[in-house]
Structure 1
């Protein structure tokens, strides 16, 4: 088996901790750490672990430039997952992807063996119906994220058609946009039961996390081994966990949680030990390193609005790649040969709204709160929207480094306009 994970270099210590735990349980296998940035890193010191770069995958340079332009680091790391699995399958007939915030406590070759013949082994977010008791997570939270959790997937060579299909969709549609029924790589896997042969593992020792801990009874056996609903513990997914807040299992879990992260519980003991290992590894020192492709070479910060503007133009104004047959290759990217054209392109007049810049119109389309407060940007709300762009701190956060001039005779901001934008944003914000 060939396993791997995907990170930016600031998560290197976490990835090495995962790799070590995996290889302790699977000593005859190998592990790859794929870096999505190009910062230099030290070799892991174990010849069973190798460092890969995006240039090691079967990705064209223009595909890499495109994805680095439209995706933030989390989206990019999920978007290249099929390409990594394709690369791992060159060397072995069985491969698995594992999220970097996972720690492996037991081996699982028996669970993933069906991938050799069927092609795909998946783990769902939940194995039992979620109670409708007002606690978190709810069924809707899971449905927004996808029924399967792609922190883990195993594939064999029969999965070639699936990986090509998945990779094509993640080229432009790995964004986190609940309102578009997209959540990085995960929502696409909801199609798998209808399209591809697969196995869903119902082993309760696989992929334990904050979203399913309520259904996984963890206890120590007489020999000290940890059992989950009577089955051996395989791995825990510490999604959203930080050793700086050990009393919280995950920053993603809202109140009230269905299961408390109580002192003395098995999951708390495991989390505390995992946090200690992270601290000892130096993870806290490395985690603060900025993402290399969070800004352009000329210093433009690639906010979500800027990345979204590029993506929207590539898709000809459509919401997803499924709605277009090809991309507009004249659109400048943040990286690559056209990067020097990006800033003036963003600030050029919009073709349909010439009194506003291209990026200002894209931001308006992207934000339901702005559309609610400034519904008529071609008429009565034009000057008010331009004033908001030029003066409101929220606009500076959304469009950093892209200063907007106020209208020639800038009107006073209407009473309460800023508060209305913020309140409307809260109402439209997706539940995550």
Structure 2
């Protein structure tokens, strides 16, 4: 059995792309063990026995506390990223495991990745930055460098971790942060699981930042890397064999647009993009691609809205009362009655989007599960400070009144629960 374990994370609808990734890994690294972290619920009528992975790990079996309530707080993209550190923990604890590699399902390997393994022989964690060279135009700075400042310096379409003490410590830390803060909330400094990794080189020893041009090639670094074809027809990047390419944003059409902008007339890039398009065009009719997401509906079949997820995520009292919010007879019943009273704007299509932005503008710990009690120590500290420092007490009272006017009692409660 191999001591190198590779995994990706996806719901059923993305398994056809997982298939492409894992077929490429089987071709170049038949010795590796391949795992799927399934951000979905297994179903008896779906046969995955012929898929190119060695083991499937349903998210519900990763040991995530208060799983049902926690999962409800996430969109499909957020959940697929949120389970990554928990899967990493499970794989690192396997008896024979020495190294774990994560790759996004929309990546494809084009040659052996031995240099990644060599880097991990000497390091605890290996990361790849979005960019490894400065941009030369203002347009590229805005598209790429500033985009990295918003979304994270390191691209989490890849990460490699050794089964060392530091590797385990990192996985524990990452899972603790992601449990509360895995959301696409750039105004509050969060972008799913990715922004947290900016802290890793400062927090942990033995972090290797792999700057090789051949890995994690994507639209965000095509302006500073020369991708071409060798005489034998293999893809090369700055004179090295292409390791893996990240076809991010392909389904929306964004990848093709940015590739055309950043690669100019580079025919090798356009050939590569066209190849992936041809490989994936048949996926439209793939039965798995049409599988509905299990966590997108209540038990009665009613679709779950973003507003419903948001309110549940921000309201610890609702988390305590409705530990399984997917049950239509519990949280959905509350939403259709009391929710209309407390959040009327969320029921108005014209005002809902703005109301959600305002409601989520204050950063909170999100899902707290069974730990969602008022922080009495924090509250008593505020009261003591207010008593001995009247000016501070006045400022706190004024701010509390502003919160109450804009967010109501629920807003005050959210601050205290944080």
- Whether TM exceeds 0.5 here: the answer is yes
Alpha-carbon separation, structure 1, partners of 2:188 and 2:405? 28
More helix by share: 2
Q: 1:211 aligns with which of 215, 220, 228?
A: 220
Sort the Cα spacing of 1:362 and 1:110 in 2 relative to 1 into closer, same or farther, 3 A: same
Sort the Cα spacing of 1:341 and 1:124 in 2 relative to 1 into closer, same or farther, 3 A: same
Q: Per-residue deviation at 1:8?
A: 0.5
Q: Per-residue deviation at 1:344?
A: 3.4
**Unmatched segments (≥5 aa) in structure 2:** 362-401, 409-418
Question: 1:298 maps to which residue?
Answer: 300
CA RMSD of aligned residues (A): 3.4
**Unmatched segments (≥5 aa) in structure 1:** 317-327, 383-432
Q: 1:220 aligns with which of 220, 226, 229?
A: 229
Report if the CA contact (8 A) 2:7-2:34 is conserved: yes
Q: Per-residue deviation at 1:193?
A: 1.3
Q: Per-residue deviation at 1:167?
A: 0.3
State how 1:402-421 maps to structure 2 within 5 Å.
Answer: none
Sort the Cα spacing of 1:212 and 1:354 in 2 relative to 1 into closer, same or farther, 3 A: same
Q: Per-residue deviation at 1:21?
A: 0.3
Pair 1:270-2:267 in alignment: no
Report if the CA contact (8 A) 2:36-2:53 is conserved: no
Q: How big is each residue's C-alpha offset from its partner over 1:171-225, in whole Å with a ceiling of 9 and x where there is no partner?
A: 1210101111110000010111110121110011100111111111012223333
State how 1:13-162 maps to structure 2 within 5 Å.
Answer: 13-40=16-43, 41-45=46-50, 49-60=54-65, 62=66, 64-89=67-92, 90=94, 91-135=96-140, 137-158=143-164, 159-162=167-170
Alpha-carbon separation, structure 1, partners of 2:357 and 2:282? 42
Report if the CA contact (8 A) 2:128-2:154 is conserved: yes
Report if the CA contact (8 A) 2:131-2:221 is conserved: yes
Alpha-carbon separation, structure 2, partners of 1:79 and 1:363? 24
Partner-residue secondary structure (3-state), 1:137: helix
Q: How big is each residue's C-alpha offset from its partner over 1:256-313, in whole Å with a ceiling of 9 and x where there is no partner?
A: 93333x5x61122122222222234666554343322111112333222111101111
Q: Per-residue deviation at 1:363?
A: 7.1
State how 1:282-431 maps to structure 2 within 5 Å.
Answer: 285-314=287-316, 329-333=319-323, 335=325, 340-347=329-336, 349=338, 366-368=356-358
Q: Per-residue deviation at 1:39?
A: 4.2
Alpha-carbon separation, structure 1, partners of 2:314 and 2:256? 33
- TM superposition score normalised by structure 1: 0.73
Sort the Cα spacing of 1:152 and 1:21 in 2 relative to 1 into closer, same or farther, 3 A: same
Report if the CA contact (8 A) 1:36-1:76 is conserved: yes
Q: Per-residue deviation at 1:341?
A: 1.9
- TM superposition score normalised by structure 2: 0.75
Q: Per-residue deviation at 1:109?
A: 2.4
Q: How big is each residue's C-alpha offset from its partner over 1:384-413, in whole Å with a ceiling of 9 and x where there is no partner?
A: xxxxxxxxxxxxxxxxxxxxxxxxxxxxxx
Q: 1:259 aligns with which of 240, 263, 266?
A: 263
Question: 1:170 maps to which residue?
Answer: 178
Partner-residue secondary structure (3-state), 1:194: helix
Alpha-carbon separation, structure 1, partners of 2:345 and 2:334? 8
Q: 1:236 aligns with which of 233, 238, 245?
A: 245
Alpha-carbon separation, structure 2, partners of 1:117 and 1:125? 22
Q: Per-residue deviation at 1:42?
A: 2.3
Q: Per-residue deviation at 1:347?
A: 4.5
Pair 1:249-2:255 in alignment: yes
Alpha-carbon separation, structure 1, partners of 2:360 and 2:39? 33
Alpha-carbon separation, structure 1, partners of 2:54 and 2:69? 29
Aligned residue pairs: how many? 353
